[in-house]
Amino acid sequence: MTRAFKNSSFNRTHVAFFQYPIDEHRYVSNLKEHRERRMLTKQPITRKMNAPAEKAWDAISKIDRLDVWFSFIATCRIEGSGVGTRRYMTISNEGGEIEDEILEINHGARKFVYRRLISPFPVTSYIGTVEVFTSYDGNAVVVWTIDFESKPEDSAAVCEIVKEAIGGGLEGMEKDLTS
């Protein structure tokens, strides 16, 4: 089987044939060309909570408790309500500012989507999606997915930061929901 694969016209360049956006009107199909510009990365973080799904969704959909859940966020405030709301956060120890724009709050699907406008991470684009599912026992399963664009050499480091930060935030959220 390996021999047939080696001799076939199918090779590694075909495996990675996708069209990657450069901007809203142009695409490249050459993976190398795209990687030289930026890299698209998806990092999901999942946690089963010791709290009911509805209670978790209620807390997440209010969007203003990140300073309670994330130990490194000193302040969190919002301006507006619903889609278009801006969320402003200050990172502890002069770590910088974060600004998010709320893109979607879907109560029926228990899905929340935001775009990071100002970020301390070396990214050119950052979209967060938080979804709450109901486990067999009625408790919440929270899936927080970050889709970001960065230079290829920054991608692994940003993934690690995101996994640690959001993992800690989900742990903080669970403590808040169960106290």
- pLDDT tens readout for residues 57-103: 999 999 999 999 999 999 999 999 999 999 999 999 988 999 999 99
CATH number at residue 76: 3.30.530.20
Is residue 55 one of the residues assigned to a domain?
yes
Residue 142 lies in a domain: yes
Comparing C-alpha atoms, which of 38, 39, 60 is closest to residue 49?
Answer: 60
pLDDT at 166: 96
Which residues are bridge partners to 129 per DSSP? 113, 145
- Global pTM value: 0.78
Report how far apart, in Å, the C-alpha atoms of 25 and of each of 21, 83, 92, 124 are.
8, 26, 40, 18
Whether the pLDDT of residue 121 is over 80: the answer is: yes
Polymer length of the chain? 179
Domain tally, the chain: 1
In a domain, 9, yes or no: no
Q: How far is CA 31 from CA 39, 40, 157, 167, in A?
A: 10, 11, 21, 31
Assigned domain for 7 exists: no
Give the pLDDT band of residue 33 (cuts 50, 70, 90): low
For 120-131, give one letter per residue: b (16+ CB within 10 A) or e. ebebeebbbbbb
Please indicate, yes or no, if residue 134 is contained in any of the structural domains.
Answer: yes
Q: Does residue 80 form part of some domain? A: yes
- 159 falls within a domain: yes
Give me 26's structure tokens. 């142009």
28, part of any domain: no
Q: Which domain holds residue 68?
A: 38-178
